[in-house]
């Protein structure tokens, strides 16, 4: 599953330039041009990293940054502030508001891509690792192989993506809507019951040789992957 990047920027040519370069670097890129729209979208699905312009139509980037840091779901979201405001007081305000990095326009796109990679490695080394382990489940991103207690677990592409997403936040409960948005994408209409079907298939595959069920159902809330 590619790393998911959201770019919030109202300069359309710059957006397309950033999209091209980040997609070439292997990211799944979503772009938003208005601060209000970005806030609404971030309540539906949280990307792996956010690039946020300071000056935006509607809600400003600096205010959106402040609000994101107040929400538990986005409190630790890796965030790069992108702005033409390069004076020291502006930089200080950006960092104090919650930006992890601060890039002043004009800038090198290659440097921005490198900064994003370093920030992700520092904030979430598990997202960049080839092999991720939760409890007795091991997922090898490079080989697209899943094992449980050393034994292979055979999964279809969607069930693999579902497991990989759950493994990003062990113990956290995800609603069906959150799973749909993050695994299938918000531009595809799929019934909520599809999530239940794939959770059932994933459970069956993970329990094939073992009795312990690593997936917890929280009635009325959703699903989580147990860390034990």
Report pLDDT for 187: 58
Locate the domains of the chain by residue range. Answer: 4-127, 129-225
Average pLDDT per block of 10 residues along the chain, 228 residues long:
86 92 87 94 91 92 94 92 84 90 89 90 70 88 87 91 86 84 71 88 86 87 84
**HEC letters along 108-171:** CHHHHHHHHHHHHHHHCHHHHCCEEEECCEEEECCCCEEEECCEEECCCHHHHHHHHHHHCCCC
Report pLDDT for 169: 78
Report pLDDT for 90: 83
Report pLDDT for 12: 92
Report pLDDT for 125: 67
CA-to-CA distance for 57 and 8, rounded, in angstroms?
11
Q: What class does CATH assign to 129-225?
A: mainly alpha
Which residue from 48, 11, 7, 45 is spatially nearest to 29, judged by alpha carbons? Answer: 7
Cβ neighbours for 187, distance < 8 A, ≥ 6 positions apart: none
Report pLDDT for 188: 60
Cβ-contact 101, 115 below 8 angstroms: yes
Report pLDDT for 8: 96
Cβ-contact 51, 5 below 8 angstroms: yes
Superfamily of domain 4-127: Response regulator (3.40.50.2300)
> Please, is 219 exposed, middle or buried when counting C-beta atoms within 10 Å of its C-beta (0-12, 13-18, 19+)?
exposed
């Amino acid at each position: 599953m590619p790393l998911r990047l959201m770019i919030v920027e109202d300069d359309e040519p710059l957006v397309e330039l950033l999209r091209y370069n980040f997609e070439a670097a292997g990211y799944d890129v979503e772009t938003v041009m208005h601060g209000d729209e970005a806030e609404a979208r971030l309540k539906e699905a949280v990307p792996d990293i956010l690039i946020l312009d300071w000056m935006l139509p509607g809600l400003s980037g600096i205010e959106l940054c402040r609000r994101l840091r107040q929400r538990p779901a986005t409190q630790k979201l890796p965030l790069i502030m992108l702005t033409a405001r390069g004076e020291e007081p502006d930089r200080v305000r950006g960092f104090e508001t919650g930006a992890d990095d601060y890039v002043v326009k004009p800038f090198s796109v290659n440097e921005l891509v490198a900064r994003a990679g370093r920030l992700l490695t520092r904030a979430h080394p598990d997202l960049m690792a080839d092999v991720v382990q939760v409890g007795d489940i091991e997922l090898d991103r490079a080989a697209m192989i899943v094992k449980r207690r050393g034994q292979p677990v055979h999964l279809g592409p969607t069930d693999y993506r579902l497991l990989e997403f759950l493994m990003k936040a062990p113990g956290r409960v995800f609603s069906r809507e959150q799973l749909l948005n993050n695994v299938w994408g918000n531009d595809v209409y799929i019934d909520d019951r599809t999530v239940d079907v794939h959770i059932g298939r994933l459970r069956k595959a993970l329990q094939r040789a073992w009795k312990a069920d690593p997936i917890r159902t929280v009635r009325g809330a959703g699903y989580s992957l147990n860390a034990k």
